[in-house]
Structure 1
Amino acid sequence: MPDTTTMPVTRTSIGRKLAMATASVLLFIYIVGHLAGNLKIFLGPDSFNHYAEWLRVAGTPLFPEQGVLWLARVVLLAALAVHVLAYVDLWLRKRRARRTRYRKFDPQVFSWTSRTMMWGGIAIFAFVLFHLLHLTTGDIQPDLAYEFQRGNPYENAIAGFRVWWVTGIYMVGVIALGMHLYHGLWSALQTFGINNPKYNRYRRPAAGTIAVLITVGYLSIPLAVLTGVIG
């Protein structure tokens, strides 16, 4: 149904886009913070394991052990749900009516990146699920000779990334994430009103640069293990 002036803003296309962009900002902050923490693996096992332990006990004694960690997980899950539901709703609206009063023609919208956002999102979801089962719960262990060590994430990561096809899965997942970030960043900037001809020419290169830096950062870890740079 087309948007009307009597609709609550949260039910309009603008409201959905704002909700999706806001959720994207929270997810982006997590992605950057997660990368910063994971890069500590280059500093050695003590630094990396200490970081993992800090995540587990952060906020104590004000919060119970892992309390802050679970709070962050709940916020991330909520942001992810809002992000996905808003996207699906907007996608369905576009299918019903290619034009709305809010949407204006933008050649960038028809880029091959934007057309693959849904499939990229599905690939990222599958990758995150694999990542959690691999390095968080230890349910997936590619190296049958290795026993998952709780409290020793450094050795778990080293053992996992030494398997070439595991590194391959991470590479595909991270590249999909980078493509998603590229489109999402410039799209979010537009949603938040940064859509001035004076700045538009910088919006896309800025999004691309940030996406590439994050992608390279995440790729550097499994590739460094696989090639023997660390571990």
Structure 2
Amino acid sequence: MATTTRPSLVKGSRSTRSTIALKLLMAVSGLLFIAFVLGHMYGNLKAFAGEEAFNHYAEHLREIGEPLLPHEGFLWIMRIGLIAAVVIHVACAVALWRRAAAARPVKYAVKRSTTSLSSRTMRWGGLTILVFVVWHLLNFTIVKINPSNGDTGGDNPYALLVDTFDVWWMTIIYLIAMVALGFHLHHGTFSSLQTLGLTNSATSRARARATGWIVAIVIAGGFSLVPLSVLVGIIEK
């Protein structure tokens, strides 16, 4: 007796596989982003060593790989890779959100006690981080806007950093972005570990949540130290 496979089952199987693929891409791109911001945070903390050390570090980044790579070649490879990771991450997030919305045509209330604050703010936090990254690049990399005097294109990274965070509202904007980043990293780290199959028991889930908090506090807290130190005068020109 011949058997046939229902088209709906085939379609459902394909949809499930593509959803898993989207989650894996999102997890891997998210982990790459975590690695990048961890390295970036380390570089920012060089500001505590003074102007010469910070500027030397910034110039060293431009020279990595020479003469095999052109000047700033390594930085551009890293930037392109980061942009690709962000595009993949955002595209996967939007695709998964649309699928979830389509599968749940009738809205229903979710008990707030069953979800964490970081999970409920993932989308808005992600959008906040994306907007902040655009401004951050204009501020420190592409245009090099100095909020304290309106100048652009300066060639002293340390002076630009201090002048930026000497402006109190710039520090406030930065700290708000770091709160959003912290929540995003907390839930994102846990979700990535879950997608990779590392939360198969109550103990491993607890460890994954703890790892999420450690990553969030270390990175968001480390980034926040520099602007706060500039604002109170610990770091100065």
Give the structure-1-normalised TM-score.
0.88
Deviation of the 1:202 alpha carbon: 1.9
Q: What does residue 33 of structure 1 align with?
A: 39
Q: What does residue 5 of structure 2 align with?
A: none
Q: Identity of paired residues, percent?
A: 41
Query: Contact 2:186 / 2:216 at 8 angstroms: preserved in 1?
Result: yes
Which residue of 23, 29, 32 maps to 1:17? Answer: 23
Q: Distance in 1 between matches of 2:125 and 2:235?
A: 30
Q: What does residue 194 of structure 2 align with?
A: 190
Q: Distance in 1 between matches of 2:132 and 2:178?
A: 8
Higher-Rg member (1/2): 2
1:110-121 correspondence to structure 2 within 5 Å: 110-121=115-126
SS of aligned partner of 1:59: coil
Q: What does residue 51 of structure 1 align with?
A: 57
Q: Distance in 2 between matches of 1:43 and 1:90?
A: 44
Q: Distance in 2 between matches of 1:147 and 1:14?
A: 45
When residues 109 and 77 of structure 1 are mapped into structure 2, their CA distance, relative to the original with a 3 A threshold, is: farther
The answer to whether the aligner puts 1:164 opposite 2:143 as a matched pair is no
Q: How many residues align?
A: 221
SS of aligned partner of 1:5: helix
Q: What does residue 103 of structure 1 align with?
A: none
Instruction: Structure 2: state its 5+ residue gaps.
Output: 1-7, 106-111
Give CA-to-partner distance per residue, 1:94-127, whole Å, 9 cap, x none.
101149xxxxxxx997323212211111111111
Deviation of the 1:172 alpha carbon: 0.6
The CA RMSD measured in Å over matched residues stands at 2.2
Amino acid at match of 2:166: R
Which residue of 138, 144, 147 maps to 1:142? Answer: 147
SS of aligned partner of 2:154: coil
Q: What does residue 69 of structure 2 align with?
A: 63
Instruction: Structure 1: state its 5+ residue gaps.
Output: 100-106
Give CA-to-partner distance per residue, 1:144-201, whole Å, 9 cap, x none.
2766521x10011011110100101100111111111001000000000012223112
The answer to whether the aligner puts 1:206 opposite 2:211 as a matched pair is yes
Give CA-to-partner distance per residue, 1:9-30, whole Å, 9 cap, x none.
4xx1111000000101111110
